[in-house]
């Protein structure tokens, strides 16, 4: 894994402890923490979009989201053009999401995955790179679908 990547991270109230664990587990990375910072209930779409827009603008290389299941955060992030957010709770899915689908945002569920495995999932995802060839063609088709439905 390349050191000192620029990463954005955010969580809702259920993901606060896991978010803190992830930041601490990767001290060689530059984290832009977009919240939340307290356990008071917040709306996950707001935080997911903040990370997704930061990735889209190129202010960071990749984004990480944490909520209860990862699903809601991924759904919200995927509404932002150019974002390919994937939910992963195992290293195999994390690696292929990055290599085959060029996922630029990773969503995790704090109620689904333990902190030790979450660190390994993020480590695997960060160490993986998008592959060319047939995967690149398929990712381009994802972008074409997105373009077709833009208003």
Q: Which of 13, 89, 100, 135 is catalytic?
A: 100
CA distances 123 to 2, 23, 86, Å, are 11, 12, 15
Domain 6-148 has CATH 3.40.1400.10: yes
Is 135 assigned a catalytic role? no
Q: What burial class does residue 45 get, using C-beta atoms within 10 Å of its C-beta: 0-12 exposed, 13-18 middle, 19+ buried?
A: middle
pLDDT of the residue at 150: 82
pLDDT of the residue at 151: 65
pLDDT in tens, 32-58: 999 999 999 999 999 999 999 999 999
Is 11 assigned a catalytic role? no
pLDDT of the residue at 100: 96
* pLDDT lower than 50: segments of the chain: none
DSSP-assigned beta bridge partners for residue 66: 11, 108
Sign of CA dihedral 132, 119, 12, 59: negative
Q: Which of 11, 67, 89, 135 is catalytic?
A: 67
Q: Model's pTM, two decimal places?
A: 0.95
pLDDT of the residue at 3: 74
């Amino acid at each position: 894994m390349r050191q000192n990547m620029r990463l954005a991270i955010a969580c809702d109230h259920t993901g606060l402890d896991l978010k803190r664990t992830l930041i601490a587990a990767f001290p060689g990375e530059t984290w832009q923490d977009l919240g939340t910072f307290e356990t008071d209930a917040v709306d996950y779409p707001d935080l997911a979009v903040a990370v997704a827009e930061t990735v889209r603008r190129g202010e960071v290389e990749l984004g990480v989201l944490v909520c209860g299941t990862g699903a809601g955060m991924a759904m919200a992030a995927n509404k932002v053009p150019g974002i390919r957010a994937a939910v992963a709770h195992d290293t195999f899915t994390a690696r292929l999401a990055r290599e085959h689908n060029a996922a630029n945002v990773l969503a995790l569920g704090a109620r689904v995955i333990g902190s030790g495995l979450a660190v390994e999932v993020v480590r695997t995802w960060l160490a993986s790179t998008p592959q060319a060839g047939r995967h690149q063609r398929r990712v381009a088709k994802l972008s074409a679908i997105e373009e077709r439905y833009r208003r």
